[in-house]
Amino acid sequence: MKKGEQVTIHDIAKALGIDSSTVSRALNNSTRVSKTTKQKILDKATELGYQRNTLASNLRTNKTNTIGVIVPRISRNFFSSVISGIEETAQKAGYNVIICQSFEDFEKEQKLMETLLSNRVDGVLISISMQTETFDHLMPYLNHGGPIVFYDRPCYIENCSSISVDDYKASFMATEHLIENGCKNIVHFSGPQINPLYKNRKRGYVDALKKHGLNFNENYCLESKLSENDGIVFAKEIIKMGHIDGIYSSNDTAAIAAIQYLKSKGVNIPKDIAVVGFNNDPISSVIEPSLTTINQPDFEMGKTAASLLIQQIQDTSFKKTSKVLDVELIVRQSSQHKKV
Amino acid sequence: MKKGEQVTIHDIAKALGIDSSTVSRALNNSTRVSKTTKQKILDKATELGYQRNTLASNLRTNKTNTIGVIVPRISRNFFSSVISGIEETAQKAGYNVIICQSFEDFEKEQKLMETLLSNRVDGVLISISMQTETFDHLMPYLNHGGPIVFYDRPCYIENCSSISVDDYKASFMATEHLIENGCKNIVHFSGPQINPLYKNRKRGYVDALKKHGLNFNENYCLESKLSENDGIVFAKEIIKMGHIDGIYSSNDTAAIAAIQYLKSKGVNIPKDIAVVGFNNDPISSVIEPSLTTINQPDFEMGKTAASLLIQQIQDTSFKKTSKVLDVELIVRQSSQHKKV
DNA sequence: TTTAAAAATACAATCGATTGTATTTTTAAA
DNA sequence: TTTAAAAATACAATCGATTGTATTTTTAAA
């Protein structure tokens, strides 16, 4: 940005022979400026091509009207839908949104928090990375009085709102669905147990087994970061195990990778092994057999998260709340095992 | 952000009984401050939990070390890969990245440009929306001296660098591939012709037909925004047309939607109709039959775009350039028509 | 020990907008 | 026409950091 070309309120003031404070008030549509003057100022502003310097304004008013969003990866469908929800709500309330990717990396997440604090965003929405095990990097921001709301991946920090999905129930439903379809030896693809989200999903899986008199085998719970490659690795293990007839995966990515690998090895899905995923990625309806999965209200989660955060920004006495949204089991072909 | 909690360089200065200018210089590691003083200042800074106020700094130095990225939709795989490339290069050069979605909406794009100008980002990377037909909304930013680099969707504005893919060649290859596989009546799914990108793709399609002595039928060129729904609408038209044996789609989304619809109507892909897409979305390798498509160097495009922009930011005499990256035809099952 | 040069630090203005207070102008009642 | 109240505008300080210039302190040569 070339310096010489910046038009400021002082230029407008000088051009009209008035004070810059009046210009400022006019541009903010204050009642303290007469209509005639206001019009003159507005006209001159467009004439000179004035554009408010938000940096200066933000510095003075001590707020940025900006919320920062930390997301593990924007490329995942679930997250990009959440972001759309956030943007919609934020825009309506007059807030800008800065989107940052942590790439599931703790150090990157730390740096992003620093940048957001340094840029004095009014609030932060964060879905913590899978690597994150401590929360010290959030404290400077919280100590400066900045509100944080957790979405998708809950995180129990005092005074922070969070919004998530009923992972336990979803998992229970998914596992029970496999059992009802005749599966007896169900493997679970799980994520890092440090995260309550994956813990809850595991609990749901275990409890569903228990309810139906199937005993839980710790070896059947395969933990990873649920990447495509993890799905393939797990599929290989499953073939080695030999007698597995069901897979409940904590995300679609790993489930789909596993299905493709198993199919390539001549395993019939769902006749030999039934599969249920999690997320309802677009790809899940395209793969053959189409994948039974859990649909989350992603867009709504984004809207709710943004709305909780904005309430906290605007009303510091706002009581912190935790919201849990409901999910839906989408039954497709991959789970039609051997229905009696 | 609560006001009372802000620690400034003045607090550090007061605590140490020195001047704030010295504190500022120390924090910026200037040679004008002695090692002992520097250490004292750094220690006090961490003790007080000081975090630089970037707003103030940016206002004073008249740069933000931030580049703005306008992208039609982050959820599209191609764009999220481009963004990853941008972030990597930007981070290495010490720039922050603000990601904004236009959702292919012109008005939204206008607003985003205003916000970016207002926030005085040092440069802008933009892939213009499909709705965009005029470029007046870019002028205020350009007039303020801010550099803009176009990526993916070229846009010929004086003094602006751009980086794109050889769409003509890609299209020619794709169409020729269908012809070589025995297709005689090839439909082209095209995008808005206002955009050179889709124009070039159409040209490639037309020229490939010509080269192989097939005559070009304007009715075979179906124009839309290439959404999922557009793909279905086109598929219906194709069934009506009756004698189509090949589809070359300007993106995978429409191609895949069309394949699914055609399959549901009993059309055999690729025996009855062969299909080639564009983008190499992850879904293209999962659908059955797997989709022959064009792979673009998305990550590299992001890196190159960021690097071009940063060069322009740092060296105003930098000569504007247009780069064209090469593409690759990924042959899969959907195009195996009736190879002789 | 004196003194000039170099190093370190302080002073003061500035970036562009906002805002509490003071002053001037306008309005309307007396 | 006078005058008090209201409206409009100007003045001046401020947000937090940076930076050119001035001053002080330190270093090292004479």
Q: Residues A296-315: what's their mean pLDDT?
A: 96
Query: Which pairing describes strands A123-126 and A148-151: parallel, antiparallel, or unpaired?
Result: parallel
Radius of gyration over alpha carbons of chain B, in Å? 26
pLDDT of res. B163: 96
Residues paired with residue B330 on neighbouring β-strands, in sequence order = B293
Q: Residues B166-186: what's their mean pLDDT?
A: 96
Instruction: Give the number of domains in chain A.
Output: 3
Q: What is the pLDDT of residues B48-73, one digit of tens each?
A: 999 999 999 999 999 999 999 999 99
Query: Which pairing describes strands A246-249 and A322-325: parallel, antiparallel, or unpaired?
Result: unpaired
Closest CA to A321 of A68, A166, A151: A151
A316 within a domain of the structure (yes/no): yes
CB atoms within 10 A of CB B25: 18
Q: State whether A78 and A219 are in the same domain.
A: no
**Where do runs of H (alpha helix) occur along A20-76?**
20-27, 35-48, 54-61
Query: Which pairing describes strands A293-295 and A328-330: parallel, antiparallel, or unpaired?
Result: antiparallel
Q: Is A51 on the interface with B (CB under 8 A)?
A: yes
What 3-state DSSP class applies to B98?
A: strand
More confident residue, B158 or A333: A333
Residues around strand D, C-beta < 7 Å: A 17-22, 25, 31-37, 56, 59-60, 62; B 3, 6, 8-10, 20-21, 24-25, 27-28, 50, 52-53, 56-57, 59-61
Residue type, B58: N
pLDDT of res. B288: 93
| Chain C bases having any atom below 7 Å from a protein CB | 7-20
The pLDDT-based confidence of B195 (bands split at 50, 70, 90) is: confident
Q: CA-to-CA distance for A256 and A265, rounded, in angstroms?
A: 14
Q: Which two tokens stand for residue B137?
A: 């909304």
B1 within a domain of the structure (yes/no): no
Q: State whether B148 and B174 are in the same domain.
A: no
**Chain A with chain B: Cβ pairs closer than 8 A:** 124
Q: What is the pLDDT of residues B197-215, one digit of tens each?
A: 999 999 999 999 999 999 8
Residues around strand C, C-beta < 7 Å: A 3, 6, 8-10, 20-21, 24-25, 27-28, 50, 52-53, 56-57, 59-61; B 17-22, 25, 31-37, 56, 59-60, 62
Q: Is A149 buried (19+), middle (13-18) or exposed (0-12) by CB count in 10 A? A: buried
Q: How far is CA A217 from the centre of its chain?
A: 32
Give CA separation, A338 vs A180, A255, A273, in Å.
9, 20, 10
C1' of D30 to CA of B211 (Å): 90
With a cut of 70, say whether residue B339 has pLDDT above it.
Answer: no
Q: CA-to-CA distance for A91 and A65, rounded, in angstroms?
A: 10
Q: State whether B279 and B172 are in the same domain.
A: yes
With a cut of 50, say whether residue B138 has pLDDT above it.
Answer: yes
Q: CA-to-CA distance for B127 and B132, rounded, in angstroms?
A: 10
Q: CA-to-CA distance for B103 and B69, rounded, in angstroms?
A: 13
Q: State whether A288 and A307 are in the same domain.
A: no
Q: Residues A283-298: what's their mean pLDDT?
A: 96
Residues paired with residue A151 on neighbouring β-strands, in sequence order = A163
The pLDDT-based confidence of B194 (bands split at 50, 70, 90) is: confident
pLDDT of res. B340: 45
Yes or no, beta carbons of A59 and B80 under 8 Å apart? no
pLDDT of res. B337: 87
Q: Residues B64-92: what's their mean pLDDT?
A: 95
Q: Which two tokens stand for residue B46?
A: 């961490």
Q: What is the pLDDT of residues A32-70, one digit of tens each?
A: 999 999 999 999 999 999 999 999 999 999 999 999 999
Q: State whether B110 and B210 are in the same domain.
A: no
Where residue B46 sits, what CATH number does that domain have? 1.10.260.40
Q: State whether A203 and A241 are in the same domain.
A: yes
pLDDT of res. B3: 38
pLDDT of res. B158: 83
Q: What is the pLDDT of residues A136-157, one digit of tens each?
A: 999 999 999 999 999 999 888 8
With a cut of 70, say whether residue A339 has pLDDT above it.
Answer: no
Q: What's chain A's average pLDDT? A: 94
Q: What is the pLDDT of residues A122-139, one digit of tens each?
A: 999 999 998 888 999 999
Q: Residues B154-164: what's their mean pLDDT?
A: 89
With a cut of 80, say whether residue B265 has pLDDT above it.
Answer: yes
Closest CA to A193 of A216, A165, A170, A218: A218
Q: What is the pLDDT of residues B3-12, one digit of tens each?
A: 346 899 999 9
B22 within a domain of the structure (yes/no): yes
A81 within a domain of the structure (yes/no): yes
Q: CA-to-CA distance for B104 and A73, rounded, in angstroms?
A: 21
**Where do runs of H (alpha helix) occur along chain B?**
9-16, 20-27, 35-48, 54-61, 77-92, 106-118, 139-143, 167-180, 196-211, 228-241, 252-264, 298-314
Q: In what order do the strands lie in the sheet with B148-151?
A: A322-325, A161-165, A148-151, A123-126, A66-71, A96-101, B96-101, B66-71, B123-126, B148-151, B161-165, B322-325
A30 within a domain of the structure (yes/no): yes
Terminal-to-terminal C-alpha distance of chain B: 71
pLDDT of res. B155: 83
Q: Is A46 on the interface with B (CB under 8 A)?
A: no
More confident residue, A33 or B338: A33
CA angle B45, B46, B49 (to 5 degrees): 85
Q: State whether A288 and A214 are in the same domain.
A: yes
What is the extent of the structural domain holding B197? 167-296
Q: Is A94 on the interface with B (CB under 8 A)?
A: no
Q: State whether A192 and A133 are in the same domain.
A: no
B337 within a domain of the structure (yes/no): no
Closest CA to A98 of A83, A110, A109: A83
Decide if A12 contacts A22 (C-beta within 8 A): no
The number of CA neighbours under 13 Å toward the Cβ of B264 is: 10
C1' of D16 to CA of B25 (Å): 14
Decide if A286 contacts B286 (C-beta within 8 A): yes
Q: Residues A8-12: what's their mean pLDDT?
A: 97
Q: State whether A171 and A289 are in the same domain.
A: yes
Q: What is the pLDDT of residues B241-263, one digit of tens each?
A: 989 999 999 999 999 999 999 99
Where residue A241 sits, what CATH number does that domain have? 3.40.50.2300
Q: State whether A21 and A86 are in the same domain.
A: no
For chain A, what's the residue count?
Answer: 340
Closest CA to A82 of A66, A71, A96: A71
B330 within a domain of the structure (yes/no): no
Q: What's chain B's average pLDDT? A: 94
pLDDT of res. B338: 75
Q: Residues A252-280: what's their mean pLDDT?
A: 96
Residue type, B259: I
Decide if A69 contacts A310 (C-beta within 8 A): no
Q: What is the DSSP letter of A243?
A: -
pLDDT of res. B308: 97
CB atoms within 10 A of CB B338: 12
Element (H, E) at A98: strand A96-101
Domain end among B259, B278, B296? B296
DSSP sequence for B188-238 = EEE--TTSHHHHHHHHHHHHHHHHTTPPP-GGGEEES---HHHHHHHHHHH
Q: What is the pLDDT of residues B278-304, one digit of tens each?
A: 999 999 999 999 999 999 999 999 999
Q: Residues B146-151: what's their mean pLDDT?
A: 96
Q: Residues B320-330: what's their mean pLDDT?
A: 94
Decide if A87 contacts B112 (C-beta within 8 A): no
